[in-house]
Amino acid sequence: MAGIMAASGWRHQDEGLSLGAQFRSRFSNTHLMVAVGILVVALAITVGTSIAARSHFRSLSEDEFEHAVLTAAAAIEKSVSEKLVILQSIQGLFATRDDVTRDQFDSFVMLLARDDSAIQALEWIPRIERDALDAYVRRTQAEGFADFALHPAGERDVYFPVDYVFPMDPNRAAFGFDLASNPERLAALNESRDTGKLVATAPITLVQETGSQAGFLVFAPVYRGGGVPSTVAERRDKLAGFGLAVFRVGDFIDNSVPAPSQEEFNLVVFDTLVSDDTKIHAATDAHRGLLEADALLIQRELDVAGRTWVLCFLVPRGFGLGALSQSAWLLILIAGSLVSLLGFGFSFLLLTGRDRAIALAGRMNESLAASESQRDQMFELSQDLIITADAQGNFVFVSEASRRLLGRDPADMVGKPYLDFVHPEDRASVARAAAQVVEGDELTAFDCRFLRADGEAVWLSWNAHWLPGLVFAVGRDVTERREIERMKDEFVATVSHELRTPVTSIKGFLEMLTDDLDASMGEEQRSYLQAAGRNAERMERLVSDLLDLSSLEAGRLAVEPALFDLRSAVNDVLSALQPDLEERTIDVTIEIPEVPTPQAWGDQRRVEQVLTNLLSNAVKYSQPGARIEVVVASDDEGDDPSMLRVEVRDNGIGIPPEAIEHLFEKFYRVDNSSTRSSTGTGLGLAISKALVELLGGRLWVESELGRGSTFSFTLPRGAADAHGPA
Ligand code: ADP
């Protein structure tokens, strides 16, 4: 029993087939008593049948059904509120600007609702006065829609034509349709205008409907000057138009309720606020389920932009049974013959349900104002700043969050270059990031400072995306995190600075002590002194790493670039490491071109620091007897011939793939027996990477767990060497 959500089984009430209409035509006269009598008999037979059926059917677990219903109802409710949020964004767009173009509308909407099959269309409906109509039609024709005309034709004081439409193709029939021409649409439109709220229409047949689904529209009013004017008279005067979301009920429900749960019940939706009758809004094609003898029914009420829908979930008892026995078949047949009678009963139930729903709707209307203002508040409280900007770097849209984050009115920012609002020191990096956004279709993330109206800086962490013609970005306030990081860095810098002098002096005194007492010392004392010396050295290394790192991060590390010979740098480092290499019987091979010897441009001391770190890691994280290779070559893989590449290869323990992305973070160490047994701080690679980048190169790693690692970095070639074959 697939609960296919299509209105195919049910027709419009105007065509005389809705349940309510059937009910009224049969019950609103003197036959009422007879009908009630028939109903009682029908019910009695049904009860008898179901009692008999019960012995043949394993009864459906009502709990399961209820659970499925609750889940589906919650999903529909969530979907309704999500779609209304999209509509509110469109309302926001038009409220902040009065010159939104068709292309901008398309880009903006595509962003919100691309591939959203629950939405049939999102539209902009301008208000056009009678005397402005000709100019409006000509303007639209000039936009490339040569045969654009309002339909249906007719003389009216004000027109509300469907103007911007997304997506255009499946909704072309609606383009130019004057919503003021139709009473149901006009009623919702006027209510929305006068209340300033989102208002849904009664169920209607869409202009662009090609199947037989019912549809509904939700209007969001936009007033000149933004906001909602306080009096109805002002609202009527300042109305600029409407954002409009168009839905097909069947598609909407299909999209909201996952297909598997639709297998578990039939769903029929009623709109209870239709003035003259309860109207069926959507139904399954298997509407027999609705009238099935002994069906389980759960009703839920749902607010949809001011209307009350009743969702009726139905399932025949016994659903879920495998092969039915012969007698069960018979019983179903008998029950089937009662379908029409039970129809009365069901209608009756629905009618009383309707009364309750209308009473409830009254109460809901009262609380609507409260809940709407709560929702508005939610938007204002939205933490993130959402913006769009054009390719020239001007804001096209700025969300309300700018008031709180930047102390600025969105309207004061729209149309202006965004760089004007960026901290002067960050403008270059923002311009670079923006260029990257425009070039690629990847999400680009970057942090920068924006200036508040009061001159204070606010750190925003951005995620930006390029949509054809438009930058879309969401910025999160990370000022606090940045401040904490700054304080932490400052603390590390201060502490390490304060430690450096005492550690150096402890080390010096220990050396003196060892020298002076060497002859007179016993074995034990010597070993104490040696241990103290080793620890002092370790501490000195840590302090100097920390100092390097904090100066690198603060951009305070001075390098003194000069031309230097890479071969001699490699040799210097290797001879310093000789004792470690010997201790672990590790062999190093060097592959460096003889002529001409590669000359690099950089700070030799710092390059040696990087080499020392990479080589001592290669030693630390390899088994005794392993091999290390150092290769210097032209950086052929990079496109730049003016770069040299240095590789340090080992066949040691390797690095697990998931650790690679963290390897260059400070204090990161892979957790394995080698790191546990070797001393280290997890700072070496972070420093090396930052140093290489400071010198104009880059550093990266390729590694396979258990087979070894290759750390590579590039450096600019020295000028004298720039054209030599390396
Ligand atoms: P550490 O002081 O721990 O060596 P590094 O920043 O130099 O700090 O290295 C970070 C981590 O990267 C090391 O703890 C180790 O787990 C891993 N690592 C570095 N080099 C190698 C290598 N050649 N082979 C395997 N693992 C390595």
Query: What letter represents residue 132's amino acid?
Result: A
Residues 613-628 pLDDT 10s: 999 999 999 999 999 9
What's the CA gap between 65 and 551, in Å, rounded? 65
Q: Compute the distance from residue 654 Cα to the ligand 1 centre, in Å.
A: 10
What's the CA gap between 121 and 404, in Å, rounded? 33
Q: Compute the distance from residue 417 Cα to the ligand 1 centre, in Å.
A: 45
Give the other-Cβ count within 10 Å of 192's Cβ. Answer: 26
State which ligand 1 atom lies nearest to the alpha carbon of 687. 6
Q: Compute the distance from residue 72 Cα to the ligand 1 centre, in Å.
A: 52
User: Which residue's CA is the closest to the ligand 1 atom numbered 20?
Assistant: 617
Quick one: pLDDT at residue 691? Answer: 95
User: Which residue's CA is the closest to the ligand 1 atom numbered 16?
Assistant: 670
Q: Compute the distance from residue 612 Cα to the ligand 1 centre, in Å.
A: 12
Quick one: pLDDT at residue 192? Answer: 94
Q: Compute the distance from residue 617 Cα to the ligand 1 centre, in Å.
A: 6
**Residues whose CB is less than 8 angstroms from the CB of residue 397 and which lie 6 or more positions away in sequence, other chains included:** 92, 93, 96, 97, 108, 386, 387, 388, 410, 414
What's the CA gap between 670 and 278, in Å, rounded? 67
* DSSP strands (E only) in 239-364: 239-248, 266-271, 279-282, 295-304, 307-316
Residues 104-120 pLDDT 10s: 888 778 777 777 788 99
The H or E element containing residue 22 is helix 19-27
Contact predicate 386/93, CB 8 Å: no
State which ligand 1 atom lies nearest to the alpha carbon of 711. 23
Higher-pLDDT residue of 508 and 716 is: 716
Q: Compute the distance from residue 682 Cα to the ligand 1 centre, in Å.
A: 7
* 400 band by pLDDT with thresholds 50, 70 and 90: confident
Residues 420-438 pLDDT 10s: 999 999 999 999 888 888 8
State which ligand 1 atom lies nearest to the alpha carbon of 668. 10
CA distances (Å), origin 396, targets 103, 143, 265, 474, 661: 12, 21, 46, 14, 36
Q: Compute the distance from residue 573 Cα to the ligand 1 centre, in Å.
A: 18
Q: Identify any residues that bridge with 458 across adjacent strands, giving them in sequence order.
A: 450
**pTM score, two decimals?**
0.43
* 383 band by pLDDT with thresholds 50, 70 and 90: low
Q: What is the mean pLDDT of residues 148-166?
A: 92
**Residues whose CB is less than 8 angstroms from the CB of residue 318 and which lie 6 or more positions away in sequence, other chains included:** 53, 57, 58, 59, 60, 294, 328
Q: Among 616, 617, 681, which is best to mutate for testing ligand 1, by the most ligand atoms less than 8 A from CB?
A: 617
Is residue 545's pLDDT more than 60?
A: yes
DSSP 325: P
Residues 22-71 pLDDT 10s: 444 444 454 455 556 555 655 565 555 555 555 444 444 566 777 778 88
What's the CA gap between 459 and 332, in Å, rounded? 69
Q: Compute the distance from residue 627 Cα to the ligand 1 centre, in Å.
A: 17
User: Which residue blocks in 245-338 are alpha helix, DSSP H?
Assistant: 249-256, 259-262, 288-291, 326-337
Query: What letter represents residue 345's amino acid?
Result: G
From the number of C-beta atoms within 10 Å of its C-beta (0-12, 13-18, 19+), residue 375 rates as middle
Residues 624-650 pLDDT 10s: 999 999 999 887 665 667 889 999 999
Which of 19-28, 102-111, 363-372, 558-567 has the least mean pLDDT? 19-28
Residues 457-513 pLDDT 10s: 999 999 888 877 788 888 888 898 888 888 877 777 787 778 888 888 888 888 888
Residues 87-96 pLDDT 10s: 887 887 787 7
Contact predicate 307/200, CB 8 Å: yes
Q: Compute the distance from residue 581 Cα to the ligand 1 centre, in Å.
A: 17
Give one word for 187, left, alpha or beta, with left for phi > 0 and alpha for psi -120 to 50.
alpha
State which ligand 1 atom lies nearest to the alpha carbon of 683. 6
Quick one: pLDDT at residue 150? Answer: 92
What's the CA gap between 205 and 695, in Å, rounded? 68
Q: Compute the distance from residue 541 Cα to the ligand 1 centre, in Å.
A: 16
Contact predicate 721/599, CB 8 Å: yes
Contact predicate 100/109, CB 8 Å: no
User: Which residue's CA is the closest to the ligand 1 atom numbered 11?
Assistant: 669
User: Which residue's CA is the closest to the ligand 1 atom numbered 18?
Assistant: 617
DSSP 669: -
Quick one: pLDDT at residue 416? Answer: 95
**Most confidently predicted of 165-179, 316-330, 490-504:** 165-179
User: Which residue's CA is the closest to the ligand 1 atom numbered 13?
Assistant: 669
Higher-pLDDT residue of 45 and 214 is: 214
What's the CA gap between 237 and 49, in Å, rounded? 64
What's the CA gap between 305 and 228, in Å, rounded? 17
Is residue 714's pLDDT more than 90?
A: yes
State which ligand 1 atom lies nearest to the alpha carbon of 652. 24
Q: What is the mean pLDDT of residues 352-356?
A: 57
Quick one: pLDDT at residue 66? Answer: 76
Q: Compute the distance from residue 568 Cα to the ligand 1 centre, in Å.
A: 25
State which ligand 1 atom lies nearest to the alpha carbon of 613. 7
Contact predicate 223/238, CB 8 Å: yes
Quick one: pLDDT at residue 83? Answer: 83
The token duo for 94 is 């038009």
Quick one: pLDDT at residue 611? Answer: 97
Which of 22-36, 536-550, 586-600, 676-690 has the least mean pLDDT? 22-36
Averaged pLDDT of the chain:
79
From the number of C-beta atoms within 10 Å of its C-beta (0-12, 13-18, 19+), residue 724 rates as middle
Quick one: pLDDT at residue 259? Answer: 67
DSSP reduced 3-state for 335: helix
DSSP reduced 3-state for 34: helix
State which ligand 1 atom lies nearest to the alpha carbon of 622. 24
State which ligand 1 atom lies nearest to the alpha carbon of 674. 16
Q: Compute the distance from residue 613 Cα to the ligand 1 centre, in Å.
A: 9
Q: What is the mean pLDDT of residues 406-420?
A: 94
State which ligand 1 atom lies nearest to the alpha carbon of 708. 24
State which ligand 1 atom lies nearest to the alpha carbon of 653. 25
The edge-to-edge listing of strands for the beta sheet with 708-716 is 587-591, 627-634, 643-650, 708-716, 699-704
User: Which residue's CA is the closest to the ligand 1 atom numbered 14?
Assistant: 669
Q: Among 660, 669, 702, which is best to mutate for testing ligand 1, by the most ligand atoms less than 8 A from CB?
A: 669
Q: Compute the distance from residue 675 Cα to the ligand 1 centre, in Å.
A: 8
The string of DSSP letters for 582-595 reads: HHTT-EEEEE--SS
What's the CA gap between 659 and 670, in Å, rounded? 7
Q: Compute the distance from residue 501 Cα to the ligand 1 centre, in Å.
A: 28
How many percent of the chain have pLDDT more than 90?
36
User: Which residue's CA is the closest to the ligand 1 atom numbered 4?
Assistant: 680
Measured over the CA atoms of residue 458, residue 460, residue 466 and residue 467, the dihedral's sign is negative
Contact predicate 400/92, CB 8 Å: yes
CA 288 to the chain's CA centroid: 41
The token duo for 128 is 């056009």
The H or E element containing residue 608 is helix 604-620
Quick one: pLDDT at residue 703? Answer: 96
Quick one: pLDDT at residue 15? Answer: 39
Contact predicate 12/205, CB 8 Å: yes
State which ligand 1 atom lies nearest to the alpha carbon of 650. 23
Quick one: pLDDT at residue 357? Answer: 58
User: Which residue's CA is the closest to the ligand 1 atom numbered 21?
Assistant: 617
CA distances (Å), origin 629, targets 68, 142, 568, 592: 64, 70, 16, 11
DSSP 636: -
* 603 band by pLDDT with thresholds 50, 70 and 90: very high
Q: Compute the distance from residue 670 Cα to the ligand 1 centre, in Å.
A: 7
State which ligand 1 atom lies nearest to the alpha carbon of 681. 2
From the number of C-beta atoms within 10 Å of its C-beta (0-12, 13-18, 19+), residue 261 rates as middle
User: Which residue's CA is the closest to the ligand 1 atom numbered 2?
Assistant: 680
The candidate with the shortest Cα–Cα distance to 339, out of 297, 292, 296, is 292
The candidate with the shortest Cα–Cα distance to 85, out of 243, 249, 306, is 243
Is residue 284's pLDDT more than 70?
A: no
Residues 251-262 pLDDT 10s: 888 888 876 666
**Residues whose CB is less than 8 angstroms from the CB of residue 470 and which lie 6 or more positions away in sequence, other chains included:** 104, 107, 108, 111, 388, 389, 390, 391, 396
Q: Identify any residues that bridge with 482 across adjacent strands, giving them in sequence order.
A: none
Q: What is the mean pLDDT of residues 158-162?
A: 95
DSSP 718: P
Higher-pLDDT residue of 114 and 231 is: 231
Which of 179-193, 277-291, 430-444, 534-548 has the least mean pLDDT? 277-291
The H or E element containing residue 701 is strand 699-704
User: Which residue's CA is the closest to the ligand 1 atom numbered 7?
Assistant: 684
The string of DSSP letters for 49-82 reads: HHHHHHTTSPPP-HHHHHHHHHHHHHHHHHHHHH
Q: What is the mean pLDDT of residues 218-223?
A: 94
What's the CA gap between 387 and 414, in Å, rounded? 9
Output the ligand 1 site: residues, CB below 6 A. Answer: 613, 617-618, 621, 650, 652-655, 663, 668-670, 675, 680-686, 709
Q: Compute the distance from residue 559 Cα to the ligand 1 centre, in Å.
A: 25
* 282 band by pLDDT with thresholds 50, 70 and 90: very low
Higher-pLDDT residue of 360 and 525 is: 525
The candidate with the shortest Cα–Cα distance to 108, out of 416, 405, 471, 461, is 471
Q: Compute the distance from residue 564 Cα to the ligand 1 centre, in Å.
A: 27
Quick one: pLDDT at residue 74? Answer: 82
Q: Identify any residues that bridge with 217 across adjacent strands, giving them in sequence order.
A: 246
Query: What letter represents residue 301's amino acid?
Result: E
DSSP 598: P
Helix axes 32-54, 19-27, angle to 10 degrees: 130
Q: Among 584, 609, 621, 700, which is best to mutate for testing ligand 1, by the most ligand atoms less than 8 A from CB?
A: 621
CA distances (Å), origin 695, targets 425, 447, 569, 647, 713: 21, 23, 15, 17, 11
Q: Compute the distance from residue 414 Cα to the ligand 1 centre, in Å.
A: 49
What's the CA gap between 452 and 404, in Å, rounded? 10
Contact predicate 314/297, CB 8 Å: yes
Is residue 555's pLDDT more than 70?
A: yes
What is the residue whose two structure tokens read 């002859």? Answer: 519
CA 236 to the chain's CA centroid: 37
Quick one: pLDDT at residue 365? Answer: 66
User: Which residue's CA is the closest to the ligand 1 atom numbered 23?
Assistant: 618
What's the CA gap between 456 and 75, in Å, rounded? 43
The edge-to-edge listing of strands for the beta sheet with 444-451 is 395-398, 385-389, 470-477, 457-467, 444-451
Q: Compute the distance from residue 660 Cα to the ligand 1 centre, in Å.
A: 10
* 540 band by pLDDT with thresholds 50, 70 and 90: confident
Residue 10 sits at φ, ψ, to 5 deg, of -120, 145
Give, rounded to a whole angstrom, the gap between the first and last alpha carbons of the chain.
Answer: 74
Q: CA 280, 281, 286, 287: dihedral to nearest 10 degrees?
A: -10
